[in-house]
Amino acid sequence: MSESLLPLIVITFSTSLLLCVLNVIAYRELKHPALYVWALSCGLYASRFLFDILSEVYPWPLWQVPLQLSVLGSGYLLIKGVYLYLYPTGRTPLGWAVFAGMAGAAVLGIWFLPVPSLVPLLLSFVFLGLSNIVIGWFFLQNRTLSRLERLFVGIVFILWGFHNLNYPFLRPYPQFAAWGYTIGLILAFSAWVGLTFLFISEQRRRAEKAESRYRTLADSIEDALFTLDSDGRVKEMVGRLFKQESRGIDSYSGRTAIDILGPELGAIHLEMARKVFQENRSVSYDWAFPLQNETRYFHTTLSPVRDERGNCIEIVGVTREITPLRKALEEVQHRLEEKTVLIQEIQHRVQNNLQVIISLLNLQTQNLSSPETKKEFNLAISRIHTLADIYNQLHTAEDVTHIRMDRFLESLVSRLSDPDLFPKPPKFQLDVEEVVLPLDKALPVGLIINELLHRCFETSLSIDSDAPTPSAYISMRRDNQALEVRVSLSGCAEECLSPAGETQKHLRMELLESLVMHLEGRIEETGESAILVRLPVFENP
């Protein structure tokens, strides 16, 4: 090798190494595998000239073996990177790997055999030249690039490929060697720089396209999307919610909620933003914006944007107008209130009618002389009182469709303890869980309990004055299977627990049984003066 070629080889080596560094930097920024493969290709291409320098400093014929292998490796990685760039989801054709592998094996074998030095050079540079020509053809056919881009990169690679093809034939002639290295340096540098910047330009176009699509989608939504900094200032806002404002969306950038909405309403938003930064969690709230002719309602959600350590660095928010929804809810609420008032009025009228019936029956009872007839009237009045007690609860309760049975039983017990009803007022002990029943179930359950107690204690009318005061233990509990109502009696005549018989002195079970059957339940006598009524489970409201 001529000493005049050494500076050219050093320059070419340095240039190839610089291109390798540029591809590494680009890969670290863009994370595309093609850039990583091209960096390796540039590194191997630079090593080719390193072996040229070593062969000049330390003459040794076998330096040509790693030199030609580096040429083959550089060419294969170059075309592999181009396939990754043009076809990200595809694979490099197997033929190129087979071609490079066969050429490499031939290079290793030929250098240990007595053959001319032109043969290994021809194999490696034919592979490199053909790969460059194919790459140039690919870029010339790529219609996604601009005309100038594909012509420049395609023609440069094709010229570089032809230059590599004639390298084995012109390299032995010193008069062509200097020009060959110079032209090769210019073509290689142009090809690598064009390829790198072409890739960066393509990535920029894709980013601009993605940004344009994002803007189109963001400006198409009806809500407002925005970000806030730590001072509560708007960094960016997209969406159609405030786009129709005369000042436009861009006028919100750099302004706080107080600047946009005024001190009173803006203070609420700033307080919510501070809460997100302090507590590092999302908040949602509704707010109203009064105008001259109407009030607009909005719902805003603020969420923290966290860094790697989980600290809130900014806020992303979504604001949606809920004025139509708010008006619809107010209309539904208004109609619901009207229906509630109507139901309460109906129940109040029913309660008044029941009280009128009770008053009429009481007046009629005063004119009766037969004790048996009076007892029957009192029983009828007691049943109507039971219904009136239930409707009285509905009139004072917020829920007009369900009854608290524990409160109903307290009212029932208070009424049955009236001395005017029984000569010996019974004593009661309640053990009732908080059970809520729908109205259609509460009415028969109340009548069942009233019938049990009234039928029992009316027998106390015939009990001697020295007999103990009658008492009852009432329990109501729910389990997984049924609602259990247990009435345990003491101080009552034995007839009160007898089945239906010949006279009215026996406990008549006809009405009781019909009410229990209506609820698909059953009546059980457990002994020890106790009656158990099992009813289906009722769901709580």
Tens digits of pLDDT across the chain (541 residues): 445 667 777 888 888 888 888 888 878 877 888 888 888 988 888 888 888 788 777 877 777 778 878 888 888 888 888 888 777 776 778 888 888 888 777 777 766 666 666 666 777 778 888 888 888 888 888 887 788 888 888 898 888 888 888 777 766 666 676 777 788 778 888 887 887 777 778 778 888 888 888 778 777 778 888 899 988 898 888 877 766 554 555 677 888 888 888 888 888 999 999 999 999 999 999 998 887 788 888 999 999 999 888 899 999 999 988 888 888 888 898 888 888 788 778 877 887 888 888 888 888 888 877 877 877 787 778 778 777 777 777 666 667 677 788 888 888 777 777 666 666 677 788 888 888 878 778 778 887 877 777 766 655 555 455 566 777 788 888 776 677 888 877 655 444 444 444 444 444 567 777 878 877 787 776 666 677 787 775 554 4
Which residue matches tokens 């330096």?
A: 63
Residue 319 carries which DSSP code? E
CA distances from residue 366 to 166, 324, 425 in whole angstroms, order as listed: 135, 63, 20
pLDDT for the residue numbered 246: 46
Write down the pTM of the prediction. 0.47
Domain 328-536, CATH: 3.30.565.10
Tokens representing residue 504 in the block: 């009215």
Which residue matches tokens 């200097």?
A: 178
Name, in order, each residue with C-beta under 8 angstroms of 181's C-beta and a sequence gap of 6 or more.
Answer: 5, 8, 9, 12
Q: What is the DSSP string of 215-238?
A: HHHHHHSSSEEEEE-TTS-EEEEE
How does strand 224-228 pair with strand 234-239? antiparallel
Q: Is 313 helix (H, G, I), strand (E, B) or coil?
A: strand
Contact 358, 381 (CB under 8 A): yes
pLDDT for the residue numbered 245: 54
Domain 224-321 has CATH 3.40.50.1820: no
Helices 147-170, 118-141: axis angle to 10 degrees equals 170
pLDDT for the residue numbered 113: 67
Q: Is 301 helix (H, G, I), strand (E, B) or coil?
A: strand
Q: Where are the domains of the chain?
A: 3-212, 224-321, 328-536
Burial of 192 (0-12, 13-18, 19+ CB in 10 A): buried
pLDDT for the residue numbered 46: 86
Name, in order, each residue with C-beta under 8 angstroms of 398's C-beta and a sequence gap of 6 or more.
Answer: none
The residue among 225, 408, 41 whose CA lies nearest residue 33 is 41
How does strand 295-306 pair with strand 402-404? unpaired
Please state, in angstroms and rounded to a whole number, the distance separating the CA atoms of residues 316 and 225.
7
Contact 504, 488 (CB under 8 A): no
Please state, in angstroms and rounded to a whole number, the distance separating the CA atoms of residues 170 and 156.
20
